[in-house]
Amino acid sequence: MAKLYYPLEAVESRFEAKGSEFISHLVALEGFGDFVAQMRLKHFKAVHFVTSSRGFNAQGQIEESFSDDGEPKGTSGMPTLKVLRGFDLIECGLLVVRYFGGVKLGTGGLVRAYTQSAKEVIAKAQEQGALQAYIPKDSRTIQIPFAVFSQVEYLAKKFEVGISQKEFLENGVHLKLEASFENLQAFLEKIESLLY
């Protein structure tokens, strides 16, 4: 699998073709639907809100979606999705807001305009350092004795392991951990050496 990237922050760019203005937004997938709804309110005079997105489902498979939002079929949503694929982006949403400029672009012109608009917002994200390599996360649940809890917390920070849940029980502490596969494995090996 190619190295994948995701946006750390929202990025916006503008592109013009024959009087039509294309405003592109590259954002994190989480909250993308709400973001699109906000942009529809902000740009209430715009005629099209074309979207595409890529993300992982619960089984770790890539799910993709797109919408032409009234543009001729295949001229906008799919071309922007292809750009997301081409730049190996994941866990992201791309919205292109179009203000019609009075001149019809034709199907070829629309494909070129939406493709260019998507490429420009991604290029801007790259220039700004707003894209980061995606590292798949692994999660585990462990139970440890109270006596080693503070050491485990220290090691979690050292190995960049997130503790997403702590539950103090009668016989120890129940922890839910999240980290990259490599960091989590190294951390668990270290914990094992503490316990045995």
DSSP string, 51-93: EEEEEE-TTS-EEEEEE-TTSPTTSSHHHHHHHHHHTTB-SEE
Low-confidence ranges of the chain (pLDDT < 70): 1
Instruction: Give the pLDDT score at 1.
Output: 57
**153 Cβ contact list (under 8 Å, min separation 6):** 163
Instruction: Give the pLDDT score at 181.
Output: 85
Instruction: Give the pLDDT score at 117.
Output: 98
At 11, list the tokens: 């990025």
Instruction: Give the pLDDT score at 97.
Output: 98
pLDDT per residue over 60-101, tens digit each? 799 999 999 999 999 999 999 999 999 999 999 999 999 999
The single-letter code of the amino acid at 90 is: I
Average pLDDT, the chain: 94
Please tell me the number of Cα atoms within 13 Å of 48 on its side-chain side. 24
Instruction: Give the pLDDT score at 78.
Output: 98
Instruction: Give the pLDDT score at 2.
Output: 74
Instruction: Give the pLDDT score at 141.
Output: 93
Q: Which domains does the chain have, with CATH numbers?
A: 5-133 (3.30.230.30), 137-195 (3.30.70.240)
Task: Tell me the C-alpha to C-alpha distance, in Å, between residue 63 and each of 3, 88, 171.
Answer: 17, 13, 42
Q: Give the alpha-carbon dihedral of 160, 162, 168, 169, to 10 degrees.
A: -90
